[in-house]
Amino acid sequence: MKEVNRYLHKKILVLGLAKSGVSAASLLHKLGAFVTVNDYKPLAENPEAQGLLEQGITVICGDHPIELLEEGFELIVKNPGIPYHNPMIKGALVKGIPVITEVELAYQVSEAPFIAITGTNGKTTTTTLVFEMLQAGSKKPLIAGNIGTVASEVAQNAAEENNIVIELSSFQLMGLQEFRPRIAILTNLYDAHLDYHGTREEYHAAKANITMNQSGQDYFIVNADQEKVMEAAARSKAEIIPFSTSSVLSEGAYVKDGWICFNNEQVMERKNVSLPGDHNLENILSSVAAAKLSGVGNDDIIQVLSSFTGVKHRLQYVGEYQNRKFYNDSKATNILATKNAVSAFDQPVILLAGGLDRGNGFDELIPSLKKVKSLVTFGQTAEKIEQAALEAGIKTIERVDNVEKAVPAALKLSEPGDVILLSPACASWDQYKTFEVRGDMFIDAVHKLK
């Protein structure tokens, strides 16, 4: 860890706990700051806050008292989930108190360079692929952020020879000052999190922050097929490395004559990639670019891409039973994700779908449902999805109570050679605490068949 003196004897407020807040508070305390932690959860129900109290850190729980801002704090480190329209954050900004997220602290203490990945879709898969490729190439990667250990914990133990591979959300990217990744990836941009950001423009601007401190010595890997991504690239000072799923490029990553290529070099035949789906090609191309820029050889890239079957709950291959292949795509909590999942397969698909009713219809799903052989529904939206399926011409539809019962029902409707796909197109909260729990129920049900 770098020697950092900037926080010595500084008054700093950590707003909101969870893992990132606990790590930030502990690190700042270690760096000699006078830290106050403020979390909404009452102290009696807050073991994280109790642990910080035992370290000698001031803890205020149960409320966010606005009068805290009168105590002369020089910096606020906020939980990424706290929006900027929160009264505490608005008040701090009016007073000119800087507001950052824990990722900024991680960068300041890290001896290792960062490879940072963001985008609306594909972040987790791309981050995992980059990590796996660097690991295969003996580049000593460490994984951090939303799918790994908290970044500031990883950074404290990272050495110069490591590479910290980190997935970043738009929430985290709004709280940066100096963060400068050696390699940044912007996979794609769609409308998302508008309840947090307020406007599409603010959301896109937050994503573009990933490159704001890069220089000509750094690389910015971008989706050449998306106009909004290329607008962000035009404002970057980094060396632009494009990728395209639809065009052959003069440089960057692309597909030509059935081969995945980088800078006019054939890396791997696409037919040998184990990860299904055209939408995953974006993730594959951007990760290949990052790996090649990091000095990973083709053999190591091929090893990863020929064996990688997906991140858990994201079009994850679960296994085969009676010549049916089972895929867990529980992370598909919206229509676009399910459309992508269904389009990933050439084989007949038995689709398992349904979940929380957010008031939307499923007309957008109808064109994709035309590829579906049979449908098994569950949850609050079962009737709505069934209506869309009837309009798509699906003749075999069965409704069940939950995901666990959907698996044997799907098996009965299927034939050898079919794909049985959980891709709900809905959030899980009507029946399951998280999409991970829902996906685990699916996996368990598949294993029970065997």
- pTM comes to 0.84
**How far, CA to CA in Å, does 425 sit from each of 2, 242, 327, 330, 435?**
45, 30, 14, 9, 11
Class of domain 104-305: alpha beta
CATH number of 316-449: 3.90.190.20
CA dihedral for 403, 407, 412, 413, sign (positive or negative): positive
CA distance 354 to 429: 11
Amino acid making up residue 209? N
Contact call for residues 221 and 249 (beta carbons, < 8 A): no
Q: Where are the domains of the chain?
A: 11-100, 104-305, 316-449
Same fold, 104-305 and 316-449: no
pLDDT at 196: 77
pLDDT at 146: 75
Q: Which CATH number fits domain 11-100: 3.40.50.970, 3.40.50.300, 3.30.70.890, 3.40.50.720?
A: 3.40.50.720
The torsion of the CA quartet 250, 254, 256, 258, rounded to 10 degrees, works out to 170
User: From the first residue on, what is the mean pLDDT of each consecutive set of 10 residues in the chain (450 residues)?
Assistant: 95 94 96 96 93 95 94 95 91 96 97 96 93 98 88 96 96 94 95 76 94 98 97 98 97 97 97 87 97 98 93 91 97 91 94 94 96 97 97 97 98 98 96 96 96
pLDDT at 121: 85
241's enclosing H/E stretch is strand 239-243
pLDDT at 191: 73
CA distance 410 to 158: 47
Which residues are part of a known binding site for ATP? 119-125
pLDDT at 34: 97
Which residues are part of a known binding site? 119-125
pLDDT at 102: 95
pLDDT at 336: 87
